Structure 1
C-alpha cells in the first residue's frame, strides 16, 4: 500500500508539472498574439509609411513575428517566433497558426537588433509554401522588401517574382535585415498548445478551424487592414 501511495503521489506531481508547463506555454502564445496585433496596428498607424492598399488587398497570408532577434559577430544568427493567418476562399481570415523563422549568415558584421517583422504572401505559390512543414526564403520561395506608403507605386519585380514581401521595424542598431537563407517552419508544439490538440496546418489556414477566443483580436486586426476594396 505504501508503494502504491508513493507511486500515486509521484504521478500527481508529474501531472501537475505537465499541466503547469502547458499553462505557461499557452500564456506565452497569448502574449505573442497580442504583440503581433500591436505590431500590425503600429506599422499601419502612419498611412504614409504603412503597407500600400494594393498589397493589403492582394495578400494571401500574413505572418507576424514580434521582436525577431538578429545578432552578429562575424557569424550571424537569426531566430523568431510568430503567428500566421491566411485569407480563405470566402475572403475571411483564418484562425492563426504558430510559426518560427530561423537561419544564419556569414560576413564581417558586428551588432544586434530586435526587429518586428511582417511577411506578406502575395500569391497562391506563397500560400502553398505556408502549408508545407517548412521552406527556405530565397530558395523555395522568393522574398523582397515591400514598398511602403499609402500611394506607393510597387515595382514589377515583386509582382513577377516575389512570393513574399517583407516589412520590418528595427529597435536596435543593426543595419537592415536579410531574409535569404532563413527557414520559415511550423511550430507544431505551440500550435498544439493553442488548440489543445494536433490540428493540421492546412485545416487551420483554409478556414476549417474555429478561431480560439484568445486569437480573435489578432485575426480582427489583420482583417481590419488587409481588406479587399469593394470595387475590386
Structure 2
C-alpha cells in the first residue's frame, strides 16, 4: 500500500510539473542567436537521413518556419513549445528577412520523457502563408498540417496529405511517445521582432514588405537560396 501511494504521488508530481516544462529551454536567447541556431537546424534537417524529401519540398515552399528547439515534455499530459523564425520567398525568388514566431502545442496521451526537436514547417500554399500573417494561427484548423518525416532513428513517416498547407520535418534529440501538432498555435513574437529590427514592425511587414534586411540573417537566406 505504501509503495502504491508513493507511485501515485510521484506520478501526480510529474503530471503537475509537465505544463511548466513546455516553456522553451532557450527562452532568453537573443534574436540573432535564434537566427544563428535556425541556420544550423536547417542544415541539419536537410542533411538528415530519412528526411531527403524535405529538400524537394523546400524548393516548392512559399515560406519556411524554422524552430531550432521544439521542446516536448510531460507525463500523461504533454506539451510542445519553441521559438523560431519565418522567412518567405519573394516573387523574384529571393528570401525575406526573418520574422520571429512562437509555436505552442499540447497533447494528451501515454507519454513520458523529454524531447527536443529541430523542426521546420514548410509553408506550401498561399492560404497557409496568409494564415500565418494573422495574430494567431491554429494548426489543423486555420491551415492543414502533415508530418513529412522525423529523423534521428525515430523513423520516417510519409505525409498522408501531400496537399497540406504546411509540411513538418523534424530531427529528434531524445525519445518521446505520442503527441501531435494538431491544434497547436503559431503566433508572432512582437518583442523579438522589435529587438531585431529596432522598430515596431509586424511579421507581415517583415516578410512581405521588402524593407531592411539585417546583415545577421545573410547566411540563413544564402542557405535557403542554395537549396532552391
TM-score bucket of the superposed structures, by smaller chain: 0.7 to 0.9
Q: Report the Cα distance in structure 2 between the residues aligned to 1:108 and 1:26, rounded to whole angstroms.
A: 30
| TM-score of the superposed pair, with normalisation by structure 1 | 0.77
Check conservation: 1:50, 1:148, Cα contact below 8 A.
no
* 1:158 counterpart residue number: 162
Larger radius of gyration: 1
* 2:187 counterpart residue number: 185
Shift of 1:98: 0.3
Q: Report the Cα distance in structure 1 between the residues aligned to 2:89 and 2:223, rounded to whole angstroms.
A: 13
* 1:205 counterpart residue number: 207
Aligned CA distance change for structure 1 residues 223 and 163 (closer, same or farther; 3 Å)? same
Summarize deviations over 1:67-111 as a string: whole Å, max 9, x none: 111112111121100101001122211111000001211222212
Aligned CA distance change for structure 1 residues 46 and 174 (closer, same or farther; 3 Å)? closer
Q: Report the Cα distance in structure 2 between the residues aligned to 1:26 and 1:106, rounded to whole angstroms.
A: 28
Q: Which has the higher helix share?
A: 1
* 1:11 counterpart residue number: none
Tell me which of 170, 173, 182 is aligned to 2:172.
Answer: 170
Aligned length: 197
Aligned CA distance change for structure 1 residues 211 and 27 (closer, same or farther; 3 Å)? farther
Instruction: Give 1:62-211 correspondences, 5 Å limit.
Output: 62-146=64-148, 157-159=161-163, 162-175=164-177, 178-211=180-213
| TM-score of the superposed pair, with normalisation by structure 2 | 0.78
Gaps of 5+ in 1: 1-24, 228-232
Q: Report the Cα distance in structure 2 between the residues aligned to 1:134 and 1:79, rounded to whole angstroms.
A: 15
Summarize deviations over 1:51-77 as a string: whole Å, max 9, x none: 355412210010000111111211112
Check conservation: 2:75, 2:111, Cα contact below 8 A.
yes
Q: Report the Cα distance in structure 2 between the residues aligned to 1:217 and 1:122, rounded to whole angstroms.
A: 23
Q: Report the Cα distance in structure 2 between the residues aligned to 1:175 and 1:108, rounded to whole angstroms.
A: 7
> Cα RMSD between the aligned structures?
2.5
Check conservation: 2:81, 2:102, Cα contact below 8 A.
yes
Aligned CA distance change for structure 1 residues 129 and 200 (closer, same or farther; 3 Å)? same
Deviating runs (4+, > 3 A) in structure 1? Answer: 46-49, 51-54
Q: Report the Cα distance in structure 2 between the residues aligned to 1:33 and 1:76, rounded to whole angstroms.
A: 27
* 1:3 counterpart residue number: none
Gaps of 5+ in 2: 1-26, 152-157
Aligned CA distance change for structure 1 residues 93 and 177 (closer, same or farther; 3 Å)? farther
Check conservation: 1:26, 1:193, Cα contact below 8 A.
no
